[in-house]
């Protein structure tokens, strides 16, 4: 089959949407670190719209901080790829053209640094996942003992996202070029402020003067990003290539829904995002809390309970009445911890989430969401627990989601199959779980002692610990669904 590229795109069926602009005339204004499926199904689509509207100075140069997979797939395609929007309706395909080039940082760190230092680059956006910021998830501050941080503070060339950004910002400063705006598009609480704190601290450790400069000058607007984007499978590749009549080595799959709320603070300019449906607001925090706790908190809860009880996808998990009821309960209980969003229909939002989770065509794997629990739990479930207890309320079913994570960490699943634990703390978690020998308390106690996840307060609060242990004990004896039923009773 012929490969998708600028030269071959005209052979795709006319019904398939594609760039309406002359790609050769687009110049890059954005570097994106972490050029994975989420970015390509979300921000890159908005930018594709802006390029269609004639804002041709905002093309994207993508960068991978680790593997060369995306570059290998996209380079022969001139950066083109297909977005497949999947739901109960027939799939919709659109070829996206906003990414002109993909750099692989470890292969040529200087090439990425040179791009980042280029004055034409006014925004650097990131989707490097929670763990990519080298921060302590419980406090939102730089983890100064992180191996990549230690490396980047002593080596000539960086390897972490903070290392690249700070080195590039130092080069720009030296050359008299204004800092780019850093646009974090990961699911971190107060993601703009968190990234700024991490970068300013990292810079300060390198050079106090640079730290002070970034504290004063660096803009890191917060964002809330939302679109469910499961990892692409070989089956997806085949389906899309057939529809296109051209081989696409790495299309991306997404649900129809998307949302992007952005704090409007771009001293070096930005595309007209609002014209493409982005919500530009003064304060993103209420949106972020809502999304992290209602959507992502439910997702993690469904992922652990679902995986343990043999549900491969989120749609399978939410199709189980007890699990569905648990996430409804979680959303109700989380609501008191949210900040007001005047005029926003929260009930409709919650109902829509259940519909999105049930999307039969997405096949979003519970295992994928279960990844990196040590990083995801703090803003999703631990924060709900803490805020409820601070209000004098019972911790509620957030403690069940946390217990399910513990049960998942210990493995195996309820059918006795070993669990492939993917987490930056995997070794430590496995070592802590190893000594428990089927005793809920012995499993919970050492895990609760991880301060980067639970802080110092919650492990000392019996209102929290007793609920976690109670659910964990039931999970170990009775399994996920019966525990969920009991928690609802």
Residues that bind ligand CS2 (CB under 6 A): 187, 226-228, 295-296, 299, 368-369, 376
Nearer to ligand CS2, 19 or 132 (CB): 132
CB of 279 to ligand CS2, least distance (A): 15
Nearer to ligand CS2, 37 or 468 (CB): 37
Nearer to ligand CS2, 249 or 381 (CB): 381
Nearer to ligand CS2, 187 or 232 (CB): 187
CB of 392 to ligand CS2, least distance (A): 29
Nearer to ligand CS2, 215 or 368 (CB): 368
CB of 36 to ligand CS2, least distance (A): 10
In the complex, which residue's CB is closest to ligand CS2?
299
Nearer to ligand CS2, 334 or 436 (CB): 334
CB of 364 to ligand CS2, least distance (A): 7
CB of 489 to ligand CS2, least distance (A): 28
CB of 363 to ligand CS2, least distance (A): 13
CB of 128 to ligand CS2, least distance (A): 13
Q: What is the 3-state secondary structure (H, E, C) of the chain?
A: CCECCCCCHHHCCCCCECCCCCHHHCCEEEEEECCCHHHHHCHHHHHHHHHHCCCCCCEEEEEECCCCHHHHHHHHHCCCEEEEECCCCCCEEEEECCEEEEEECCCCHHHHHHHHHCCCCCEEEECCCHHHHCEECCCCEECCCCHHHHHHHHCCCCCCHHHHHHHHHHHHHHCCCCCCEEEECCCCCCHHHHHHHHHHHHHHHHCHHHHHHHHHHCCCCCEEEECCCCCCCHHHHHHHHHHHCCECCCCEEECCCCEEEEECCCCCCCCCHHHHCCEEECCCHHHHHHHHHHHHHHHHHHHHHHHHCCCCEHHHHHCCHHHHHHHHHHHHHHHCCCCCCCCCCHHHHHHHHHHHHCCCCCCCEHHHHHCCHHHHHHHHHHHHHHHHHHCCCCCCCHHHHHHHHHHHHHCCCCCCCCCCCCCCCHHHHHHHHHCCCCCHHHHHHHHHCCHHHHCCCHHHCHHHHHHHHHHHHHHHHHCHHHHHHHHHC
Nearer to ligand CS2, 129 or 241 (CB): 129
Nearer to ligand CS2, 225 or 433 (CB): 225
CB of 258 to ligand CS2, least distance (A): 8
């Amino acid at each position: 089959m012929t490969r998708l590229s600028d030269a071959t795109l005209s052979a795709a069926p006319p019904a398939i949407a594609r760039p309406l602009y002359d790609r050769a005339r687009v110049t890059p204004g954005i570097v994106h670190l972490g050029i994975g499926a989420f970015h390509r199904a979300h921000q890159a689509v908005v930018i594709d719209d802006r390029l269609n509207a004639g804002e041709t100075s905002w093309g994207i140069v993508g960068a991978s901080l680790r593997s060369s997979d995306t570059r290998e797939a996209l380079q022969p395609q001139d950066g083109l790829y297909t977005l497949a929007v999947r739901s109960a309706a027939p799939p919709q395909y659109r070829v996206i053209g906003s990414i002109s080039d993909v750099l692989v940082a470890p292969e040529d760190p200087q090439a990425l640094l040179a791009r980042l230092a280029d004055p034409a680059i006014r925004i650097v956006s990131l989707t490097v996942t929670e763990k990519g910021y080298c921060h302590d998830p419980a406090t939102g501050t730089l983890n100064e003992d992180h191996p990549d941080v230690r490396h980047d503070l002593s080596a000539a060339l960086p390897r972490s996202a903070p290392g690249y950004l700070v080195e590039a910002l130092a080069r720009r400063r030296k050359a008299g070029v204004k800092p780019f705006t850093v646009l974090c598009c990961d699911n971190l609480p107060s993601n703009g402020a968190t990234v700024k704190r991490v970068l300013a601290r990292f810079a300060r450790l390198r050079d106090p003067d640079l730290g002070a400069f970034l504290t004063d000058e660096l803009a890191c607007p917060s964002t809330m990003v939302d679109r469910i984007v499961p990892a692409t499978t070989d089956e997806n590749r085949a389906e899309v290539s057939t529809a296109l009549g051209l081989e696409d080595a790495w299309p991306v799959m997404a649900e129809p829904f998307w949302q992007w709320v952005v704090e409007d603070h771009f001293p070096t300019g930005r595309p007209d995002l609002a014209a493409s449906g982005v919500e530009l607001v003064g304060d993103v925090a209420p949106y972020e809390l809502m999304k992290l706790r209602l959507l992502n908190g439910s997702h993690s809860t469904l992922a652990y309970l679902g995986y343990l009880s043999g549900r491969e996808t989120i749609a399978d998990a939410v199709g189980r009445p007890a699990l569905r009821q648990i996430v409804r309960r979680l959303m109700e209980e989380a609501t008191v911890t949210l900040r007001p969003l005047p005029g926003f229909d929260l009930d409709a939002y919650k109902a829509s989430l259940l519909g999105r989770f049930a999307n039969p065509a997405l096949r979003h794997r519970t295992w994928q969401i279960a990844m990196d629990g040590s990083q995801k739990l703090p803003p999703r479930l631990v924060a709900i627990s803490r805020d409820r207890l601070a209000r004098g309320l019972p911790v509620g079913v957030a403690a069940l989601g946390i217990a399910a994570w513990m049960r998942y960490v210990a493995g195996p699943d309820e059918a006795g199959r070993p669990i492939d634990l993917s987490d930056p703390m995997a070794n430590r978690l496995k070592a802590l779980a190893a000594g428990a020998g089927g005793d809920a308390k012995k499993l919970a106690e050492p895990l609760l002692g991880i301060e980067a996840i639970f802080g110092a307060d919650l492990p000392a609060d019996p209102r929290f610990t007793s609920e976690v242990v109670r659910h964990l004990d039931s999970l170990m004896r009775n399994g996920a669904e019966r525990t969920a039923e009991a928690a609802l009773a």
